[in-house]
Amino acid sequence: MQNKSLHDIALRYCVDDLPGASIPHARLQKILNALQSGKRLTQTSLVFLRQRSLHALHRFAIGELPYDSFYELTLAEQAMRIQAETSARQTHATEKQIREAAREEKRQLAYVHATAARLARESDPAYQAKIKKQELRAKYGIRTFVKRQYLTRLMNILKRVDADQRLDEGDFVWLSTVGKDYFTNELRIAYHRLEADFLTSEFHKTRDPWNAINASSHYRKCNRAHDADDLLSQINLERQLPKLQAALCTTQRGTAPWGASPCAPTQGLSPLHAARGNLHGNRTVRPRQSVVRQSYRTWCNGG
């Protein structure tokens, strides 16, 4: 009820458009209360009215105007204030739109320049080569810092591997020694895959079982044990020399269960027992003792 009464007073003096007229204890609201109560205003209050351009209210407060005349003047002042406020809001809104349009234009211009710069950069052979290097290093898991003196050799190695070309012995030795920090698991898998594929191709050309044995070893190291098993299954074990039989037994141990391996006459035999002789019919072929020891050591070390 109090707020409604304050608003009614503000309406009486045509200052309801001013926030301070209806707020309790505000400066203007206290002045209105004093006028409503018939009290004389202090000099400070009169100065306040002049500063706020409330000229009709000031003249009414000092007794120059009767209420009817005051009301006509203050109503005109209020209309001018409202018009000025509306115009100010419109001007502010227009200026805001202009500023936003300018910012958008600037942003669009920056985007166009950035796009042009990006396209120019991407068409630059040097930039393309740099991106290719980054992609190759990421593909093969090389996330560590590469020393400047090793970068060229390492990138040549990655390019060869990515082109499905085998590494020469020098590059493999370098990766295993000086460049061991860059011989990542991804690169090792790719290396063994290329070696396995090459040796498999050689086996199909020459039917040399040693190529199949070596290929199967590489297949196991690149997580393709099933390919190793398929390759070894193409070799007739009974027709091979004892040394090769021992190698086959050792290799197949890593690709198939012992019960499924053709090297084992009975389940559970190790390569040591299988390498001691090829038992078929009434004939036993025994390899040299060095071959037996070599096969046994290989089996004990995990193939």
For the stretch 284-300, pLDDT in tens is 333 333 333 344 344 33
Q: From residue 272, how far is each of 101, 237, 242 by CA, in Å?
A: 85, 16, 12
- Taking only the tens place, the pLDDT of each residue in 70-97 is 999 999 999 999 999 999 999 999 999 9
Q: How far is CA 180 from the centre of its chain?
A: 28
Distance from C-alpha of 8 to C-alpha of 22, rounded to nearest angstrom: 9
* 249 burial type by CB count under 10 A (0-12 exposed, 13-18 middle, 19+ buried): buried
Say if residues 56 and 70 touch (Cβ distance below 8 Å): yes
* CA distances (Å), origin 81, targets 49, 61, 125: 14, 20, 67
- The whole-angstrom separation of Cα 199 and Cα 53 is 100
Mean pLDDT of the 184-195 span: 96
pLDDT at 283: 37
Half-sphere exposure of 272 (CA within 13 A, CB side): 8
Q: Give the model's confidence band at 253: pLDDT under 50 very low, under 70 low, under 90 confident, else very high.
A: low
Asked whether residue 278 carries a pLDDT value surpassing 60, the answer given is no
Instruction: Return mean pLDDT, the chain.
Output: 81
* pTM metric for this prediction: 0.49
283-285 vs 278-280, strand pairing mode? antiparallel
Q: What is the mean pLDDT of residues 34-50?
A: 93
pLDDT given for residue 120 in this prediction: 83
